[in-house]
Amino acid sequence: MTADLLVIAKEPAPGRVKTRLTPPYTPEQAAALAEASLEDTLSVVSRTRACARTLVLRGRPGAWLPPGLRVIPQRGDGLDERLAHAFDDAYDGRPLVLIGMDTPQVTTGLLERAAAALRTRDAVFGPAADGGFWLLGLARPDAGLLRGVPMSRPDTGRVQLARLRAAGLDVALLPPLTDVDTAADAAEVAALAPHGRFAAAFRTVTPPVAAFTGTATGGTA
């Protein structure tokens, strides 16, 4: 049995996504990068073997949505609640692999590796370079594994992984990936996947070099 794939994402609207990119980017440029990242992510998901593919969306679908993906709304206030509901709402008796929209460098190979791990393991976990996580797969969803985990902090991934292991789950680990949160992240990820939509958008909207030397700060994505 293969897994179902989930993508949890926000509508790429200016001022509502990738706010840590502003400055140095304008809200419109940040939204353009977010849309390209989402498009790359959904393209990979569409090409990955799966029983079902679902976009768990906060906002409205746009022209960036490829055919063949079911769309369901996000529920809950905090990110931990929205993730827990995403697993519950999409569960149809098969293992679930969930990713976000911030790692356009993801590959079909990584997603298929995650799905394969769930044939024999209880969970699969992909740590992010910033201390969070870019992928979480569960053989059986359990809201208690996610609710109350502090999100968007440097220790989020460590706390989430500890929660899984404390529940007695056998967890497979994937390689770490970089989330696109800052201008420096954007440059790194564009270089890792130079032929994707994200890299093309990055080349179009790149701000001055000073943006990548630590002179710019942002808010919270």
pLDDT at 65: 97
Residue 206 — very low, low, confident or very high, per pLDDT cuts 50/70/90? confident
Q: Is residue 220 part of a domain?
A: no
User: How far is Cα 43 from Cα 30, in angstroms, rounded to an integer?
Assistant: 20
Range of the domain at 119: 4-212
| CATH number for 73 | 3.90.550.10
Question: Are 138 and 122 a contacting pair, CB within 8 Å?
Answer: yes
Within a domain: 217 = no
How would you classify the pairing of strands 96-99 and 4-10? parallel
CA distances from 213 to 94, 134, 187, 204 (A): 45, 25, 11, 19
Residue 175 belongs to some domain of the structure: yes
Confidence check: pLDDT of 218 > 60: no
- Element (DSSP H or E) covering residue 68: none
pLDDT of residue 125: 98
Residue 166 lies in a domain: yes
**pLDDT tens figures, 99-109:** 999 999 999 99
Is residue 221 in some structural domain? no
Statement: residue 219 has pLDDT above 90: no
**Is residue 205 a part of any domain in this protein?**
yes
In a domain, 91, yes or no: yes
Number of independent structural domains in the chain: 1
Q: What is the mean pLDDT of the chain?
A: 93
Q: Is residue 159 assigned to a domain?
A: yes
At residue 173, the 3 state secondary structure works out as strand
Position 2 scores a pLDDT of 85
Which residue in 28, 56, 30 sits closest to 42, CA to CA?
A: 56
What distance, in Å, lies between the first and last C-alpha atoms of the chain? Answer: 36
pLDDT at 73 over 50: yes
Q: Sorting pLDDT into bands at 50, 70 and 90, what band is 25? A: very high
b or e along 205-216 (b: 16 or more beta carbons within 10 Å of the residue's beta carbon)? bbbeeebbeeeb
